[in-house]
Amino acid sequence: MSELNDIQSVLTENRIFDPPAGFQEKLGGAWVESMEAYRDLHAKSIADPAGFWESVASNLQWFKPWDTVLEWNLPDARWFIGGTINACYNCVDRHVEDGHGDEVAIVWEGEPMDNDDPDIRHLTYSDIQDKVSRCANALKSLGVGKGDVVTIYMGMVPELSIACLACARIGAPHSVIFGGFSSQAIVDRVEDADSRVVITCDGAWRRGSVVPLKANVDAAAAKTKCIEKTIVFKRCDNEIAWDDARDHWWHDLMEEADAECPCEHMDSEDMLFLLYTSGSTGKPKGIMHSTGGYMVYTMLTSRFTFNLRPDDGQVFWCTADVGWITGHSYIIYGIMANRVPTLMYEGAPNHPEPDRFWSIVDRHKVTQFYTAPTAIRAFMKWGDEHPAKHDLSSLAVLGTVGEPINPEAWMWYHRVIGQERCPIVDTWWQTETGAIMMTPLPAATPTVPGSCTLPFFGIDAIVCDEQGNEKPPNTGGLLSIRQPWPAMLRGVHGDRQRFIDTYFSTVDGMYFAGDSARRDERGYFWIMGRVDDVINVSGHRLGTMEVESALVSHDAVVEAAVVGMPHEIKGTGIAAFVTLGGGVEACDELKASLREHVAGEIGAIAKPDMIRFTDALPKTRSGKIMRRLLRDVASGKESTGDMTTIEDFTVLAKLRDDED
């Protein structure tokens, strides 16, 4: 962390974009109309958090009102204490009861077999109420009750959202595993959560191939006794193995199940879901989110950040996978709670053609579009002719999330996709924060390419040192949050100490996000990146230790060190330095086999972009791997830092000479 002291950022970005004129008419009025309105409400939300959040919470339907808004005993926050609520009820049933049952809730586009005839489904709130209730009863028939964790490992089909909502309906926390993760990742997560039921698909389509989801669950079930029952949704009709005692077809269970299922009255603090995310040490940790606070905060951030309005013909599209927090909050809970149709797609941005996204925007008249900088950089590279083929005039707000956006990509997004009339909301947040923490508000905040601008309501963010002293403008420091917010994580599943150590031990008395940042003289925040051993590959978090453990579990490998390196599209790529066992020959075939091995242990997203074999790794006298030096080698930079403690200078010289 001492590296932070070196960072005296140079402010080079002077472009500033006021909220575009005409925006308000386009979206039927703005929730937050001006910078004055933002500043006024933000100040109120910080001065009186209980009063502010109480008035927001009454926008949801509670079975029983809360007695106390907030109880804060660092690091434990409890929100809306004594209140009972159901997340599924607020996303589905409430809208049906209010007379909106026939309105579209989910728009889905499957991967097209042929570009002119995409697979499209529109599901109304009534359709979803029926399916969610049946799915909830099906889960009950398999013995799932309140408090039992259900694992969901599916492709991007509406049934994935239905499965999540069904769990929420009966108070069974869900643990969604991204469909790109391996069978080993499933084993680790079901064991940690002690989850006995897995909902999956036979397969998922991606770039014309079937991702064998059921086969991965079978492989996981062979490695752990935990998985007792699976429910299999038929998507691809691919060949799968079948175990009569364990496997059940989704369609059979749904047909047999009753279409009436009451929503459980959940305590506000009951766990809504668990979501695993990488940390700097060991295996991914299960981040626990509550029901009441998460719903209140996610509903409001969705509404204000994207200016959601339910009766104005909007269609919201977040391109993330539900397997990540972005999908949880901005495909399902936050968007559905606002009664705006949420679009979900299956496949990839460049299949069958690199215009896939723009054809979806055009066909469904998407109004708010939310994606990641890595996708924007890829589109830039593929060329302007692809968006140019489509009518993008429905777009009104553009969002980005997951990693810092470079000003060049921001400008391209603004010019080519937004056609210079759509505000861009660069949203900073994390799995742990549950929902957006810093963002411009589309009709209020002047934007600057590369800055996530200012904190959301109720968020008291600061850039500081370890003692909590605020840093002067344009000086790097630790990004921390001083006060609790309703959607903050409630803990790390099964590991109280890790919860405290990771988030509440670095900076005195505050939540520390693991990111460094600076504020400019305007007060705008600029995220600089992770300060722990977590790297952000295409907006996906990976712990360098996880990739190292995967490499070391290969027979040929004795030691491995993994660092991030700059990557044109991914933002950060993975560089691995590997020491082989005696007698093992370093060759290209071995590199390929190591990449596959890592994919098998974690998932394809963790495959190293560069592998370099080395006789030894540069270490300090106390035996710590000098990662900073490796980062410099991986990015081709000269090391200027202090090297006096390095044990063997020749190691570094050798690494540098060796071309990949």
Residues that bind ligand WTA (CB under 6 A): 277, 324-326, 401-404, 426-431, 452, 513-515, 527, 530, 536, 541
Please state at what angle helix 588-601 crosses helix 544-552, rounded to 10 degrees: 120
Kindly report the number of other CB atoms within 10 A of residue 503's CB atom.
22
Burial track 299-325 (b if 16+ CB lie within 10 A, e otherwise): bbbbbbbbbbbbeeebbbbbbbbbbbb
Q: Is the CB of 86 or the CB of 400 nearer to ligand WTA?
A: 400
Kindly report the number of other CB atoms within 10 A of residue 497's CB atom.
9
Pairing of strands 557-567, 571-580: antiparallel
Q: Is the CB of 319 or the CB of 326 nearer to ligand WTA?
A: 326
Q: What is the closest distance, in whole angstroms, from the C-beta atom of residue 404 to ligand WTA in the complex?
A: 4
Instruction: Give the chain's count of helices (H) and strands (E).
Output: 22, 30
CA distances from 58 to 66, 139, 169, 333 (A): 10, 31, 20, 17
Q: What is the closest distance, in whole angstroms, from the C-beta atom of residue 60 to ligand WTA in the complex?
A: 22
Q: What is the closest distance, in whole angstroms, from the C-beta atom of residue 364 to ligand WTA in the complex?
A: 24
Kindly report the number of other CB atoms within 10 A of residue 248's CB atom.
18
Which residues does residue 625 pair with via DSSP β-bridges, in sequence order? 619
Q: What is the closest distance, in whole angstroms, from the C-beta atom of residue 416 to ligand WTA in the complex?
A: 20
Q: Is the CB of 86 or the CB of 427 nearer to ligand WTA?
A: 427
Q: Is the CB of 398 or the CB of 401 nearer to ligand WTA?
A: 401
- CA angle, 344 as apex, 342 and 347 as ends, to 5°? 165
Q: What is the closest distance, in whole angstroms, from the C-beta atom of residue 376 to ligand WTA in the complex?
A: 12
Q: What is the closest distance, in whole angstroms, from the C-beta atom of residue 608 to ligand WTA in the complex?
A: 20
For residue 246, count CB atoms less than 10 angstroms from its CB and return exposed for 0-12, middle for 13-18, buried for 19 or more.
Answer: middle
Q: Is the CB of 155 or the CB of 284 nearer to ligand WTA?
A: 284
Q: What is the closest distance, in whole angstroms, from the C-beta atom of residue 489 to ligand WTA in the complex?
A: 10
Cα R_g (the chain), whole angstroms: 24
**Residues 398 and 424: beta-carbon distance below 8 Å:** yes
Q: Is the CB of 357 or the CB of 511 nearer to ligand WTA?
A: 511
**Residues 446 and 454: beta-carbon distance below 8 Å:** no
Q: Is the CB of 324 or the CB of 358 nearer to ligand WTA?
A: 324
Residue among 42, 36, 2 nearest 19 (CA): 36
| H/E run at residue 7 | none
Q: Is the CB of 197 or the CB of 565 nearer to ligand WTA?
A: 565
Q: What is the closest distance, in whole angstroms, from the C-beta atom of residue 642 to ligand WTA in the complex?
A: 26
Q: What is the closest distance, in whole angstroms, from the C-beta atom of residue 178 to ligand WTA in the complex?
A: 11
Burial track 421-450 (b if 16+ CB lie within 10 A, e otherwise): ebbbbbbbbbbbbbbbbbbbbbbbbebbbb
Q: Is the CB of 34 or the CB of 406 nearer to ligand WTA?
A: 406
Handedness of CA 303, 90, 56, 332 (dihedral sign): negative
Q: What is the closest distance, in whole angstroms, from the C-beta atom of residue 478 to ligand WTA in the complex?
A: 12
Q: In what order do the strands lie in the sheet with 229-233?
A: 247-249, 229-233, 197-201, 150-153, 174-176, 271-277, 285-290, 491-492
Q: Is the CB of 62 or the CB of 428 nearer to ligand WTA?
A: 428
Q: Is the CB of 369 or the CB of 429 nearer to ligand WTA?
A: 429
- CA angle, 565 as apex, 351 and 461 as ends, to 5°? 90
Residue among 372, 368, 401 nearest 527 (CA): 401
Q: What is the closest distance, in whole angstroms, from the C-beta atom of residue 327 to ligand WTA in the complex?
A: 10
